Structure 1
Amino acid sequence: MQKLKYILPAVLLLLGIAFYFFGSAPEEKIVHVDMSVREEIRVPEPEPAITYAYLPQYSHKVSHQRHNRLIEYLSKETGLSIRQVFPDTFEEHRRMVASGEIDISFSNPMTYIRIAQTGARAFARIIEPSGSPTFRGQIITRSDNRSIHKLKDCIGKSWIAVDPLSAGGYLYALGLFLENGINATDFREISFAPGPGGKQEKVALAVYAGKYDFGSIREGTLDVVRDKINVDKIKIVAETKPYPGWVYAARRGMDPDVIDRISVAMFKLSMDDPAQAAILNRAGMRGIIPAQDSDYDSVRDLIKELGLRNLYGGQGRTE
Structure 2
Amino acid sequence: MLRLHTVWIGVALCMLAGCDPGEPTYKVDLSVRESPRIQQVDHSITYAYLPQYSHSVSYQKHHRLVEYLRRKTGLNIRQIFPDTFDGHMKMVGQGKIDLSFANPYIYIQMAHRYGARAFARIVEKEGGDQYRGQIICRADNPHIQTLNDCRGKRWIAVDPGSGGGYLFPLTLFYSHGITRDDFQEIAFAPGPGGKQEKVVLAVCAGKYDIGTIRQGTLDVVVGKIDPRAIRVLAETAWYPGWVFSSRSGLDPDIVNAVKTALRALDIRQPDHQPILDDAQIVAVIASVDADYDTVREAIEYIGGTLNQ
TM over 0.5: same fold? yes
Match of 2:105 in 1: 110
- Would you say 1:195 and 2:191 are equivalent positions? yes
Residue 275 (structure 1) shift: 2.2
Matched ranges for 1:224-235 at <5 A = 224-235=220-231
> Is residue 137–residue 216 contact of structure 1 (8 Å, CA) maintained in 2?
yes
Structure 2 counterpart of 1:123: 119
- Which residue of the partner structure matches residue 62 of structure 1? 57
Aligned to 1:5: none
Give the superposition deviation at 1:301: 0.4
Q: Give a deviation string over 1:223-263, Cα, whole Å, max 9, x none.
A: 11112111111110000000000000000011111111111
Determine the structure 2 residue equivalent to 1:31.
none
Equivalent positions of 1:87-166 (< 5 A) are 87-117=82-112, 118-130=114-126, 132-166=128-162
Pick from 264, 286, 296: which aligns with 2:260?
A: 264
Aligned counterparts of 2:40 and 2:154: Cα–Cα separation in 1: 48
Q: Distance in 2 between matches of 1:277 and 1:222?
A: 22
1:170 and 1:217 in contact (8 A); partners too: yes
Instruction: Say yes or no: does 1:49 pair with 2:39.
Output: no
Structure 1 length as normaliser, TM-score? 0.82
Q: Which amino acid aligns with 1:149?
A: Q
Shift in Å, 1:191:
0.6
Aligned-residue offset at 1:129: 2.8
Give the Cα–Cα distance (whole angstroms) in 2 for the partners of residues 288 and 226 of structure 1. Answer: 26
Cα distance in structure 2, aligned partners of 1:45 and 1:55: 31
Q: What is the alpha-carbon distance in structure 2 between the residues aligned to residue 246 and residue 290 of structure 1?
A: 12
**Residue 172 (structure 2) aligns with:** 176
Corresponding residue of 1:303: 299
1:313 aligns with 2:304: no
Q: Per-residue CA shift, 1:82-124, capped at 9, x if unaligned?
A: 0001110101100000111000000001100111021110000
Map 1:281-296 onto structure 2 (within 5 A): 281-296=277-292
Q: Structure 1's 46 and 222: CA in aligned 2 closer, same or farther, altered over 3 A?
A: farther
Q: Compared with structure 1, are the counterparts of its residues 89 and 248 closer, same or farther at alpha carbon in structure 2 (3 Å cutoff)?
A: same
For normalisation by structure 2, the TM-score amounts to: 0.85
Work out the CA distance in 2 between the residues paired with 1:313 and 1:45: 41
1:111 aligned partner, one-letter code? I
Change (3 A) 1:301 1:131: closer
Is residue 2:202 matched to residue 1:206?
Answer: yes
TM-superposed CA distance for 1:131, in Å, is 5.0
Quote the Cα distance in structure 1 between the aligned partners of 2:121 and 2:42: 28
- RMSD (Å) for aligned C-alpha atoms: 1.3
Aligned residues: 269
Question: Residue 131 of structure 1 contacts residue 286 of structure 1 at CA under 8 Å; is this kept in 2?
Answer: no
Q: Per-residue CA shift, 1:252-308, capped at 9, x if unaligned?
A: 011111111111110011111122111111012111110000000000001111111
Matching residue within 253, 262, 270 for 1:274:
270
Q: Which residue does the alignment assign to 2:66?
A: 71
How has the CA–CA distance of structure 1 residues 45 and 65 changed in structure 2, closer, same or farther, with 3 Å as cutoff? farther
SS of equivalent to 1:275: coil
Distance 2:40 2:72 in 1: 25
What percent of counterpart residues are identical?
55
C-alpha distance in 2, partners of 1:207/1:125?
31
Task: Name the aligned partner's letter for residue 134 of structure 2.
Answer: Q
Where does residue 32 of structure 1 map in the other structure? none
Note if contact 1:127-1:134 (Cα within 8 Å) is conserved in structure 2. Answer: yes
Q: Can you give the 5+ residue segments of structure 2 that lack an aligned partner in the other structure?
A: 1-38
Task: Please give the alpha-carbon distance, in whole angstroms, between the structure 1 residues aligned to 2:127 and 2:238.
Answer: 13
Structure-2 separation of matches of 1:45 and 1:78? 20
CA 1:240–1:46 in 2, change beyond 3 Å: closer, same or farther? farther
Q: What amino acid sits opposite 1:200 in the alignment?
A: Q
- Contact kept, 8 Å, 1:158 with 1:212, in 2: the verdict is yes
